[in-house]
Amino acid sequence: MKFINKVVLVTGGSRGIGKAAAAAFAAEGASVIVNYHTNKTAAEETLAQLNPAGKHMIYQCDAADSAETEKMIGHINSVYGKIDVAIINAGIAITHKIAEVDFNTWQDTWAKVLGVNLIGPANIMYLTARAMMKTGGGKIVAVSSRGAYRGEPDEPAYGASKAGLNSLCQSMAKALAPYKIYVSAVAPGWIVTDLAERYLNGPGGEDIKNQSPLKRAGTPEEVANAILYLASDGSEYTTGAILDVNGASYFR
């Protein structure tokens, strides 16, 4: 039980990769805060499936809203007295093809996607790091994407948000190391979740799976295993790393 007595926040922990990460940490003895946005039923289902050894809770909060996230971190501190690990996972992807959308939609999409995928993570990183500084350190793992590297012609805000997130993690790995706070990211390729479902089950689904020599998309559990490793004791020298979890579908 590698995470016994550890307090782990998972943003977007109600479904997909976040849900698998919440289960993986709980299985290792952690107390997990499952953050969700709108889908309370999914959050409650996730909570019900966690190893009961830890003291878990669900917490509703829009990860793009700085006031709400500040309240969430304050609440976690008041209940548990610390945050050992923050998994910054909540994210959205919106298609906004430059040749098809009007200018208002273009701008709205950039604001929305950067809000959830970059500005929100920057704020959560600030708040959790400041809490971790008071308790002697911690680990922060962000869920980035292969899209940060390979270009996302149909979802340019998504690709840019993840490239920004990588840069944020690397900057913070340097800034926070003196405080024993270690920051890293995973960069998944296609993973079987609600977010990817419309692509994986669409007309291009087989081509997507064939991008990997494994001829399949990844599972949320495979990403969760990578997250678990980066957040583990003994992984400190991986700070600043961005770990590909893409089934050899893309090399950078």
Ligand X SMILES: NC(=O)c1ccc[n+]([C@@H]2O[C@H](COP(=O)([O-])OP(=O)(O)OC[C@H]3O[C@@H](n4cnc5c(N)ncnc54)[C@H](OP(=O)(O)O)[C@@H]3O)[C@@H](O)[C@H]2O)c1
Token code pair at residue 27:
């299985």
The least CB distance from residue 197 to ligand X, in Å, is 8
Q: In what order do the strands lie in the sheet with 138-143?
A: 57-60, 31-36, 7-10, 85-88, 138-143, 181-188, 242-245
Footprint of ligand X (CB under 6 A): 11-12, 14-18, 35-39, 42, 62-64, 89-93, 116, 143, 145, 188, 190-191, 193-196
Q: What does the alpha-carbon distance between residue 250 and residue 104 come to, in Å, rounded to a whole number? A: 33
The least CB distance from residue 34 to ligand X, in Å, is 8
The least CB distance from residue 65 to ligand X, in Å, is 8
Q: What does the alpha-carbon distance between residue 93 and residue 240 come to, in Å, rounded to a whole number? A: 24
Q: Kindly tell me which of 109 and 145 has the beta carbon lying closer to ligand X.
A: 145
Active site includes 149?
no
The least CB distance from residue 180 to ligand X, in Å, is 26
Q: Which of 155, 84, 80, 79 is nearest to 117 (CA)?
A: 155
Q: Kindly tell me which of 73 and 93 has the beta carbon lying closer to ligand X.
A: 93
Q: Which residue has the tokens 């909570």?
A: 47
The least CB distance from residue 200 to ligand X, in Å, is 8
Q: What does the alpha-carbon distance between residue 39 and residue 56 come to, in Å, rounded to a whole number? A: 17
Token code pair at residue 141:
């793992």
- Marked catalytic residue, from 158, 182, 229, 250: 158
Q: What does the alpha-carbon distance between residue 49 and residue 92 come to, in Å, rounded to a whole number? A: 24
Q: Kindly tell me which of 54 and 218 has the beta carbon lying closer to ligand X.
A: 218
Q: What does the alpha-carbon distance between residue 5 and residue 190 come to, in Å, rounded to a whole number? A: 33
Q: Kindly tell me which of 135 and 154 has the beta carbon lying closer to ligand X.
A: 154
Cα distances (angstroms) measured from residue 204 to each of 92, 199, 229: 20, 7, 32
Residues catalogued as catalytic: 158
